[in-house]
Structure 1
């Protein structure tokens, strides 16, 4: 079986996990390497249905956000929580780990997850944005971290050595997003 699959294809095929699943959504900026990642850990799915906005999960979940901001970004002075929808993540800078690459790009990682108690929506993919569901075959953490390393390096254009270091930082926070059955 596959380690991950495009989310909306998995929904149409009926292969979404109902317990202990992970979704990674990637949102690319049209004209730069500005990239937002949303990692969702979910459990106890009661229902999944599609709307005009996207796929709604009635489930408990925890979300972690990662953002790549290129050097010289014109809105870098604005808190990430107050930016436009295409640039927003729900954190202030004091709530983020800030990794500066050797090219002076910033990679921000949420220190703590955002908790959703009843439901969450994964937005429909528009343009090159995409969402994946990851299947737990015992190595899900390694699979997601390797996905991050490659995506940061190849799509977000973070230098390869820095992408490895950022992935290590994400690994430090990863255990906080795991949704246990007692959640």
Structure 2
């Protein structure tokens, strides 16, 4: 099976993104001054319309979002609910909607317990320098959505292990929560 992901905005400019069927977008935002990072995974299917602008793109489709947040011990607002934090550091979730995995060094990883649904449409902003927005898609070689899910999962595991230096035991815990979310998303396809 081929690796099937592409930078969302350059892929759209080239016209090389297939928006029919199921797709997933990974929007990763990294704090330039710390390890703080937010990964937003957006699963969608049957896009009715795509509305690009200079600095964003809006998809007219329900977007089911999974959030993964890496929070260093030094983060001063770590006890503030994630939905109340300043722009660039907030996600639309409360602590009781997130699984918390505390690392040996007292940093924490939070993962959505269940996808958050954005009804009707969702917008993805063009990434600032140092951030990324990738589109994961299927080639039709396996069941609808399976290749995109598998490739996205492998990509996230690689980032957590190589860039954030998470030990295998923590990667396994994150993977288990992500798997539960992915299983829920797969159930929506039926």
Query: Is the TM-score greater than 0.5?
Result: yes
Specify which of 151, 156, 173 is matched with residue 148 of structure 1.
156
1:173 aligned to 174, 178, 181, which one? 181
5+ long unaligned stretches in structure 1:
none
Task: State the shift of 1:169 in Å.
Answer: 2.3
* Residue aligning to 1:81: 83
Q: Tell me if structure 1 keeps the 8 A contact 2:3–2:151.
A: no
Aligned with 1:130 (options 112, 129, 132)? 132
1:14 and 2:28 equivalent? no
Counterparts of 1:84 and 1:157, CA distance in 2 = 26
Contact 1:64–1:177 under 8 Å retained in 2: no
Q: CA RMSD in A?
A: 1.9
Q: Is the 8 A contact 1:21 1:42 kept in 2?
A: yes
Deviates more, 1:3-12 or 1:49-58: 49-58
TM-score between both structures, scaled by the size of structure 2: 0.87
Q: State the SS of the aligned residue for 1:121.
A: strand
Asked if structure 2 preserves the Cα contact closer than 8 Å seen for 1:66 and 1:107, the reply is yes
1:39/1:64 contact within 8 Å kept: yes
**Offset at residue 102 of structure 1 (A):** 1.9
Instruction: Please say if residues 113 and 177 of structure 2, whose CA atoms lie closer than 8 Å, have aligned partners that are also in contact.
Output: no
Match in the other structure for 1:105: 107
In the superposition, the TM-score normalised over structure 1's length comes to 0.90
Deviation at 1:177, TM superposition (A): 3.2
Q: Which runs of 5+ in 2 are unaligned?
A: none
With over 3 angstroms needed to count, the CA separation of the structure-2 counterparts of 1:55 and 1:47, relative to structure 1, is same
Distance in structure 1 (CA, Å) of the matches to 2:12 and 2:98: 32
Task: Trace 1:7-46 onto structure 2 (pairs within 5 A).
Answer: 7-16=8-17, 17-46=19-48
- 1:59 is aligned to 61
Deviates more, 1:156-165 or 1:114-123: 156-165
